């Protein structure tokens, strides 16, 4: 006999949603980037560190470039990268073509991303404060 899974624990498609079941510590969210390849790169976030949370990316299509600590790496479609807590990181789409990726994050990182998007100001001081409020630190701006 096959048991049905509760709706909030499965996602047929992450194209326009997150998988974040109540009570779970992990959240999966898919993002699509239209293309970058800009010089200098168009970082998705400033170089930052999460003091208590790990974060990972799975590249669905295209490619992501990652700064993990002092190392810059390229992650092709089908590849993944992990930024353990305490490791400075950022990421960007290094190509002119679109990229799609899934971020595996904790609820705390999801709350940080939500707070950044909800912030009425994009000024560095305001965003620094949002990071600090979520046990993270901005280390370098693009």
pLDDT tens figures, 56-72: 999 999 999 999 999 99
d(CA 142, CA 129): 17
Q: For 34-100, give the secondary structure using H, E and C.
A: CCCCCCCCCCCCCEEEECCCCEEEEEEECEEEEEECCEEEEEECCCEEEECCCCCEEEECCCCCCEE
Prediction pTM value: 0.85
Could you tell me the residue ranges of all domains in the chain?
7-106
Tell me the mean pLDDT per 10 residues along the chain, length 142.
Answer: 47 64 88 83 93 97 96 97 98 94 95 94 94 97 86
The DSSP secondary-structure symbol of 14 reads -
From 3.40.50.261, 2.60.120.10, 3.40.50.300, 3.40.30.10, which CATH number describes the 7-106 domain? Answer: 2.60.120.10
48 and 127 in contact (C-beta within 8 Å)?
Answer: no
Report residue 40 as tokens: 């200098």
């Amino acid at each position: 006999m096959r048991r049905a899974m509760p709706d909030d624990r499965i996602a047929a498609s992450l194209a326009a949603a997150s998988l974040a079941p109540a009570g779970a510590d992990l959240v999966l969210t898919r993002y699509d980037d239209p293309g970058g390849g800009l010089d200098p790169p168009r970082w998705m976030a400033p170089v930052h560190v999460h003091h208590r949370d790990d974060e990972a990316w799975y590249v669905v299509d295209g490619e992501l470039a990652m700064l993990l600590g002092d190392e810059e790496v390229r992650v092709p479609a089908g590849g993944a990268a992990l930024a353990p807590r305490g490791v400075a990181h950022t990421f960007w789409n290094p190509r002119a073509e679109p990229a799609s990726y899934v971020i595996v994050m904790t609820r705390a990182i999801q709350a940080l991303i939500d707070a950044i998007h909800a912030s009425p100001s994009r000024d560095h001081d305001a965003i620094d404060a949002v990071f600090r409020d979520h046990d993270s630190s901005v280390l370098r701006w693009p």
